[in-house]
A = this chain, B = another copy of it.
Amino acid sequence: MDFLHTMIRVKDLDANLHFFCDLLGLQEVSRIESKQGRFSLVYLAAPGDMKSAQEKKSPLIELTYNWPNESGESESYNFSRGFGHLAFRVENIYKLCADLQNSGVIINRPPRDGWMAFVKSPEGCSVELLQKGEALPPQEPWASMDNMGSW
Chain A residues with CB under 8 Å of chain B are 1-9, 25-26, 45-49, 52, 56, 58-62, 64, 75, 77-91, 123-125, 128, 130
Q: Which B residues are CB-close (under 8 A) to A3?
A: 45-46, 49, 59-61, 86-88
Q: List 4 tightest A-B contacts by C-beta distance, closest first.
A: A7-B84, A83-B83, A59-B59, A2-B48
Q: Say how many copies of this protein the assembly contains.
A: 2
What is the CA–CA distance of A5 and B83 in the complex, to the nearest angstrom? 12
Q: Which B residues are CB-close (under 8 A) to A86?
A: 3, 5-7
> Which residue of chain B has its CB nearest to the CB of A77?
B82
Q: Which B residues are CB-close (under 8 A) to A79?
A: 80, 82-83
> Which residue of chain B has its CB nearest to the CB of A121?
B82
> Which residue of chain B has its CB nearest to the CB of A7?
B84
Cβ-defined partner of A6 (8 Å) among B2, B6, B46: B6
Cβ-defined partner of A1 (8 Å) among B4, B47, B78, B125: B47
Cβ-defined partner of A7 (8 Å) among B4, B75, B85: B85
Q: With contacts A1-B25, A7-B128 known, what are 16 further pairs, Cβ within 8 A?
A: A1-B26, A1-B88, A2-B88, A3-B59, A3-B61, A3-B87, A3-B88, A4-B87, A6-B6, A7-B86, A7-B87, A52-B52, A78-B81, A79-B82, A82-B125, A83-B83
